[in-house]
Structure formats: structure tokens, C-alpha cells
Amino acid sequence: MAQYLISVLNDSTTFATGDESAAIDEFNDSLIAGGHWVFAGGLGFPDTATVIDARSGEAVLTDGPFIESKEFLAGFWIIEAADLDVALQLASRGSAACNRRVEVRPFLRP
């Protein structure tokens, strides 16, 4: 089993609609039922982000996202899957459910 991050790419300025939320809930239930669920969540808009840099000892805070881009991370799933084919199938269903493009990336294996 491997773990994959499914990132939801958003380029609109609206949160999920009622229909999208319902489809996402249904998809989440199927992830749990299939034993694929690890964690998932939706994120606030990028303008609610704060960047922290404490590399020099003292934390320096900056308002806003660390990269400005038209496309941003709107949410994610972390799933458990036997291989990439399974992960891609789940991600396709996730993309259809949330009505957005998604990206699949493997976690490094321990």
C-alpha cells in the first residue's frame, strides 16, 4: 500500500456549491467504505494565508500566500491505494465529484 496526495486545483473565487459538496460527501463515504480514506479537507482562500519564516531564529510573519498564482490549492485528499492505477481511478472520481482539476502525487515511502 502507498499513500497519495490528491490536490484540488481551483481557479475560481467560489467555494464548492451545494451540489459539489453533496458529491464530495458521497465520494468521501466511498473512500471510507473502500478502505482508501486517510484524511481530507477543504482550505480557506489563499488571501487568508500567513507565511512564517523562522529559519534565522525569530519568526517573521508575512501576510498572504507565498506564491501568487491564478490557480491555487483548494483542498486535498490523502488516500491509501495499492498502486498508481488505483490512485488515478479514485482521483478521477474525486475530480468529477468536486468539479475541479486534481493532481496526484505519491508520498515518499519510509
Partner 1 sequence: MSDVDDALARAHTQEWARVVATLARGFRDLDLAEEMAAEAFASAVQHWPVDGVPPNSGAWLTTTARRKAIDRIRREARRGEKHREALMLTDTPAPLGVIDDDRLRLVFTCCHPALAMEARVALTLRMVGGLTVPEIARAFLVQETAMARRITRAKAKIAAAGIPYRVPSREDLPNRVTGVLAVLFLVFNEGYLSSDPEHEAVRADLTAEAIRLTRLVHELLPDDGEVAGLLALMLMTEARRTARVSAAGELVTLDEQDRGAWDRALVAEGHALVRARLASGRRPGRYQVLAAISAVHTDAREARDTDWSQVVALYDQLAALDPSPVVRLNRAIAVAELDGPEVALALVDPLPLDEYHAFHATRADLLRRLGRSAQACAAYDRAIELAGNRAERAYLVRRRGQLAGA
Interface with partner 1 (CB under 8 A): 2, 81-85, 87-88, 104-106, 108
Residues 6+ apart with CB under 8 A from 87: 2, 4, 6, 79, 81, 104, 106
**Which CB atom, from 67 or from 108, has the smaller least distance to partner 1?**
108
| Rounded Cα distance, 95 and 8, in Å | 8
CB of 45 to partner 1, least distance (A): 30
CB of 85 to partner 1, least distance (A): 5
Contact 87, 33 (CB under 8 A): no
**Which CB atom, from 1 or from 32, has the smaller least distance to partner 1?**
1
**Which CB atom, from 62 or from 101, has the smaller least distance to partner 1?**
101
CB of 49 to partner 1, least distance (A): 28
Coil, strand or helix at 28 = helix
